[in-house]
Structure 1
Amino acid sequence: MIEGKGTGGKPIPVWVAVVPFVASIVGLLSVIFLLDWPLYYGLVFGWAVAVGIALAYGRGPALLVRGSYSGARNTFFVIGILLLIAGVISAWFLSGTVPALIHYGLKLVQPSYLVVTAFLLAAGTSMVLGTSVGTLSTMGTAIAGMGAVYGLDPALVGGALISGAMVGDRTSPVSGSFHLVANMTGTRAEDNYKPMWQTGLPVLLLCLVLYGWLGYGHAANSAQGTDALNSPMLRTIQENFQLPWYVMLPPLLVLVLAALRVPILRNLSVGILFGAVLAVFVQGEPLAEVLRAVWFGYDLHAVLHGGGIWPMFHQVLLILSAGALNGVLEESGMMSTLLDGLLKKINNTQSLIFTTVLVSITMAAVACNQALSIIVPGRTLRPTYDRLGASPKLLVRSLADSGVVVSPLIPWNLHAILTSTAIGIATTTLLPYAFFLWILPILTIFLSFRHKNKRNSDKRDKLLQYSIDNDPSS
C-alpha cells in the first residue's frame, strides 16, 4: 500500500480526492476539443485544483512547493529523451539518412505489404531493444515516409508501427517495463512470459491478419501506390541528396549501442553527432545550417519535414505540468486516499481485475507516465490479490494489458508524446488502428468475466459434492 505523504491538516475525503483527477481529464478534453489550446493548460488546471484542495485541508504551501518541484524534477530524464529524439530526426533528415532509407526501402517493399511489414519490423526490433521509443526513433520515421510516398493512410501506418513497437516494450526480456511489472508485483520475470503471452499471442496474430488485410486494401486503392517511384517526395530526395549506402549507418549504430545497453541519452547524442558529420561531409551542408535544423527543425519544400528541439517547447511544458500534478497528489495524500477508498469495495476476483485495469489506465491518463501506471496499482493491489486468493500472475497480466500498452494512446501521456514525435504521426490520428494497444485491455476484462464464471462453477461443484457426501440416503 502506498502511504499518503499528506501529514498535518484535516483528512481529505475520497469524494474530494477524486476532484483533481476529474478536473485534469475535463481540462485536457476541453483544451483539445473546445478551446484548441496547448495541452499543458489542461494539466495546469488540474494542478491548480489539487493545490487549492490541499491548501483548504491544511497542507502547507512548503509541502506543495516541494511536491510540485519533486514531481517536475522526476520528468527531466524523459524531457532529455524527447529533445534528443527531436534533434536526431532533424540531423538524420539533413544527413540524407531518412531520405536514403525511404529511397531504398521503396525498391524492396511493395505497397501491398508495407503495413504488415511495418508491424513485423517494429515488433522484432522492439523485442531486441526492449523499447518502443528506441524502435520508432530508428526505423519508424523512414517507414512513415515510405507510407506517405505510397499514399497510404498515415493512421494505418502509424497504428501498425506503434502496435509492433509495444510488443517488445511489453514483453521483451530487456524491456524496462517488463521488469518493472515483475518487481512491483513481487513475481519473477521469467515466470511472467506465460501469462503475458496468453493474451499477447492471440492479439499479435489477429494484428497480423488485420494489418495484412487492411494494408493490401489501402495499397490497392491508392493512386500513388501504382507510381511511387515517380512521386514528388522521391523526386525531391533524388534531386537534393547524395545517397551512398553509408548514410544509412546512423540508425544501425544506434540499434547496436542500444543492444549493448548504452544509456539512451548518450546513445541519441551519438546519433545526432553522426548525422551532423554526414550532413557536413557528404551532403555539403554548412555547420550553421545543421545546428539551425537541429534546433528549429527540418523542412524541405514542405515534402520532407520534422524534428527540431524548439518545436517541442509545448510538449516540455506538458511533461513538467504532469510531473508537478503527480507530485502534489502524492505529497498531499490524495493519491493514497483515493486508492484506499477503491480497495474497500473489492470483494471478488472479477472486480479486482477490473479495478486493476481501471487504476492502471487512470494513472496513465492523470500521472501521464507509463511507469506510474505500473508502480501505483502494482504496489497497491498486490495485498488485495493475496487476500482474495487470486494468483499474482493475474495482476501481472492485468498491468501488462492496461497501462503499459494504453499509455501511447493517451495524447498527453509522456510515452505517447515520445512515440508520436519519433514517427511524426499524431496519437489521435493513429489511435483507431493501434489494434494491439486497445484490444488487449478489452480481452483482459472479458477474461475476468470468464474467470468469475469458472470460480462460480467450481463453487457449485464443491457444494454438489458436499451434498452427495452428506446425503443420508446414499
Structure 2
Amino acid sequence: MSRIQEPKLLEVVTVLCLFLVIMFLSVSTLALPIQLALFASWFLFIGLGLKLKHTYKELQDSILTGIYNGLEATLVLFTVGALIGTWIAGGVVPGLIYYGLQMIHPSIFLLATMIICSITSLATGTSFGTAGTAGIAMMGIGASFGVPLPLVAGAVLSGAYFGDKLSPLSDTTVMTASLSKIDVIDHVKGMLFISVPTYIITAVLFTVVGLFYVSGSADLSRAESVATALGENFSIHWYTLLPAVIVIALLAMKKPSIPTISFGALLGILWAIWFQGMDSVEAIKTAYNGFSIDSGIDFLDSLLNAGGIEAMLGVIALILLALGLGGLMDRIGVLYAFSSMFKNWVENGKEKKSGRLTVSTVLSAFFGNFFGSAAYVSMITGTKITEKLYDEMGADRRALSRNTEAGGTLTAPMVPWSDAGVYMTAVLGVSTLEYLPFMWLNFISIIVTVYFGYKGRNFWLDKKSQQNVDQSA
C-alpha cells in the first residue's frame, strides 16, 4: 500500500483559500511584489504535501518539473524583450504608430484595433506575438488619440485571443485538440458557431464605443504633435516597417517563435544602425537595456522608453515561481480532488447535464490558469478532469475541446499571476485588473459557450445519447 495520502476536499479548499489570502493581502494591502506572494505560497503547498507523506525531494522535483514544462514561455519573453527594445530603436514601432495615425480615424480605431490584431493572430497563431507587435503599435496610436489605454488593451486582447483560439498554427489550439483526441481542424470548426456570433457582438460594441465615446473625446491635435515628434526623432519610411512584415510572415509560415523573434531583434539592431544613425554598440545594447528617448512629450517618452531583456527579468521570475506552484499542486493531488467534485456535481444534477458538464470544463480550465498560473496547465486541467464524463454520456469530444478553450485560452490573461496576465501587463503597459473589464470578446465567448452548453447545441454524438442522459437525470 502506498504511503502517500490523497488530499481531502476540505484540506484542498482550506489551502486554496489561504493561497488567495496571501495573494490579495500581499498585493492589494501591503503592496508587496507579487513574486514574494507566490514564493511564500510555495511553502503553503509544500506543508500540505509533507502532511500527505510526500518527501521534500519529491515536492522539490515537482517544482522543477512544473518550471521545465513551461520554460518556453520564459525563453519567448527574453526574445520579445530584445525585440521591443531594438524595434523602437530601429524605428519599426515608431513607424507603425506614425502610419497608423495617418490612416486610422479615431471613430473606428477600437474596431480597427480588434480586426488588425485578429488577422495578425490568425496568421501567426500567437497572442503573445500579436500583443508584442501589432498590439504595441495600437497602444501607441490609441494613446495619441487620447483613448484610455485599458480600453485599447481590451480591444488588442479581444482580437489577439480570437485569432489565437481559431488559428491551426496556435500551440494552445493544437494542444487542446491533441489532449481532447480530435483533429485540429475539427476542433476549429467546432468553435466557429460560437466564435463567429461572439466576434460580431464584440465588433458592434467596439464600434458603438468608438462612434459615441472615442470620436467625441479624441484629441487630434495631440495625435498631430505625436506624429510630428516621431518624424523629428526617427527617420520613418516604408522600409522601416519591413522587420515587422518579415517576422509576421515567418510566424505565419509556422517557423519556430524563439529564433524568428530573435531574428526580428537582429533586424531591429541593423535598422537602428543603417536608418536611424545609431552607434553599433549602442544599438546592440538596446536588446538588453531597452531604448531611451527624450522627445519633449511625456507620454510618448513613457511609451518608447521601453523594451530590453532587463525589463523582462521581473516578469520571468514571476512566471518561474508560478510554474513551480502549478507543479506542486499537480503533485499533491489538488487537480484530482477537483475532478471528483465536478463528477459528483454533474451526475447529481437534475437540469440538462450538458450544461453542468460545460460549466465544469470551463471552471476546470480556469482553475489551471488561476492556480497553475499557465495556459498549458489549463489545457490539461480542462480536458483531463472532465473527459471521462463526456465519454460516459456519449458527448462529442469537440464539445470538450471548445469548452476547454473557453475556460483556458480565453481566461489566461485575466489572472494577474498567470504567464499570459504577466506578459500582457509587461508588453501593453496596463495592469491586468485595469484591462480586465474591457476584454469583451473573452467574456462574451464564455457566456455564449455556457448558454449553448445548456441548450445542448452541437454537444452530443447522436440524439440517442442525449435522450439516455436526459432520461437518467
TM over 0.5: yes
Counterpart position of 1:336: 336
CA distance in 2, matches of 1:242, 1:192: 45
CA distance in 2, matches of 1:462, 1:438: 31
Q: CA deviation at 1:353?
A: 1.4
Q: Is the 8 A contact 1:349 1:448 kept in 2?
A: yes
Partner SS, residue 401 of structure 1 = helix
Q: Is the 8 A contact 1:130 1:168 kept in 2?
A: yes
Counterpart position of 1:469: none
CA distance in 2, matches of 1:396, 1:229: 44
Counterpart position of 1:447: 452
Counterpart position of 1:470: none
Q: Give yes or no for the alignment of 1:88 onto 2:91.
A: no
Q: Give yes or no for the alignment of 1:323 onto 2:317.
A: no
CA distance in 1, matches of 2:176, 2:384: 10
Q: Give yes or no for the alignment of 1:72 onto 2:77.
A: no
Give the one of 143, 155, 166 matched to 2:138: 143
Q: CA deviation at 1:424?
A: 3.0
CA distance in 2, matches of 1:10, 1:162: 42
Q: Is the 8 A contact 1:80 1:265 kept in 2?
A: yes
Q: Is the 8 A contact 2:165 2:172 kept in 1?
A: yes
Q: Is the 8 A contact 2:111 2:210 kept in 1?
A: yes
Q: Give yes or no for the alignment of 1:429 onto 2:424.
A: no
Counterpart position of 2:293: 300
Counterpart position of 2:233: 240
**What are the superposed Cα offsets for residues 233-285 of structure 1, whole Å, 9 maximum, x if unpaired?**
33321221111221111111101111222211101111111101111222121
Q: Unaligned stretches of 5+ in structure 1?
A: 1-5, 467-474
**What are the superposed Cα offsets for residues 427-474 of structure 1, whole Å, 9 maximum, x if unpaired?**
22222111111111122223333339x99xx99x989xx9xxxxxxxx
Partner SS, residue 385 of structure 2 = helix
Give the percent of matched residue pairs that are identical in Structure 1 and Structure 2.
26
**1:47-446 superposed matches below 5 A:** 47-225=42-220, 227-231=221-225, 233-301=226-294, 302=298, 303=301, 304-347=304-347, 348-446=353-451
Matched residue type, 2:121: S
CA distance in 1, matches of 2:467, 2:71: 56
Q: Give yes or no for the alignment of 1:9 onto 2:4.
A: yes
CA distance in 1, matches of 2:171, 2:55: 36
Q: CA deviation at 1:218?
A: 3.0
**What are the superposed Cα offsets for residues 2-54 of structure 1, whole Å, 9 maximum, x if unpaired?**
xxxx9633332122133343333332222332122221222223221110111
State the Cα RMSD in Å: 2.5
Q: Residues 96, 435 of structure 1: CA spacing in aligned structure 2 closer, same or farther, 3 A cutoff?
A: same
CA distance in 1, matches of 2:246, 2:422: 24
Partner SS, residue 394 of structure 2 = coil
Which sits farther off after the overlay, 176-185 or 110-119? 176-185
TM-score normalised by structure 2 residue count: 0.89
CA distance in 2, matches of 1:425, 1:289: 28
CA distance in 2, matches of 1:212, 1:12: 50
Q: Is the 8 A contact 1:17 1:335 kept in 2?
A: no
CA distance in 2, matches of 1:194, 1:281: 46
**What are the superposed Cα offsets for residues 355-414 of structure 1, whole Å, 9 maximum, x if unpaired?**
111111111111111121112221231111121233323212211222111111212111
CA distance in 2, matches of 1:207, 1:145: 22
Q: Is the 8 A contact 2:101 2:227 kept in 1?
A: no
Q: Is the 8 A contact 1:79 1:319 kept in 2?
A: yes
Q: Is the 8 A contact 2:322 2:373 kept in 1?
A: yes
Q: Is the 8 A contact 1:28 1:41 kept in 2?
A: no
Q: Residues 58, 237 of structure 1: CA spacing in aligned structure 2 closer, same or farther, 3 A cutoff?
A: same
Q: Is the 8 A contact 1:160 1:433 kept in 2?
A: yes
Matched residue type, 1:450: K
CA distance in 2, matches of 1:462, 1:25: 41
Q: Residues 149, 229 of structure 1: CA spacing in aligned structure 2 closer, same or farther, 3 A cutoff?
A: closer
Q: Is the 8 A contact 1:55 1:61 kept in 2?
A: yes
Partner SS, residue 18 of structure 1 = helix
Q: Is the 8 A contact 2:59 2:331 kept in 1?
A: yes
Q: Is the 8 A contact 2:272 2:283 kept in 1?
A: yes
CA distance in 2, matches of 1:334, 1:298: 44
CA distance in 2, matches of 1:119, 1:92: 22
CA distance in 1, matches of 2:414, 2:223: 33
Q: Residues 353, 86 of structure 1: CA spacing in aligned structure 2 closer, same or farther, 3 A cutoff?
A: same
Q: Residues 443, 45 of structure 1: CA spacing in aligned structure 2 closer, same or farther, 3 A cutoff?
A: farther
CA distance in 1, matches of 2:467, 2:250: 57
Partner SS, residue 262 of structure 1 = coil
CA distance in 1, matches of 2:4, 2:365: 29
Q: CA deviation at 1:82?
A: 1.1
Matched residue type, 2:213: H
Q: CA deviation at 1:228?
A: 4.2
Partner SS, residue 243 of structure 1 = coil
CA distance in 1, matches of 2:355, 2:218: 49
CA distance in 1, matches of 2:97, 2:175: 36
TM-score normalised by structure 1 residue count: 0.89
Q: Is the 8 A contact 2:390 2:400 kept in 1?
A: yes
Q: Residues 447, 462 of structure 1: CA spacing in aligned structure 2 closer, same or farther, 3 A cutoff?
A: closer
Counterpart position of 1:472: none
CA distance in 2, matches of 1:298, 1:425: 19
Tell me which of the two structures has the higher relative contact order, counting C-alpha pairs closer than 8 angstroms and 6 or more residues apart. 1
Q: CA deviation at 1:423?
A: 3.0
CA distance in 2, matches of 1:217, 1:462: 49
Q: Unaligned stretches of 5+ in structure 2?
A: 348-352
Q: Residues 66, 423 of structure 1: CA spacing in aligned structure 2 closer, same or farther, 3 A cutoff?
A: same
Aligned residues: 453
Q: Which has the larger radius of gyration?
A: 1
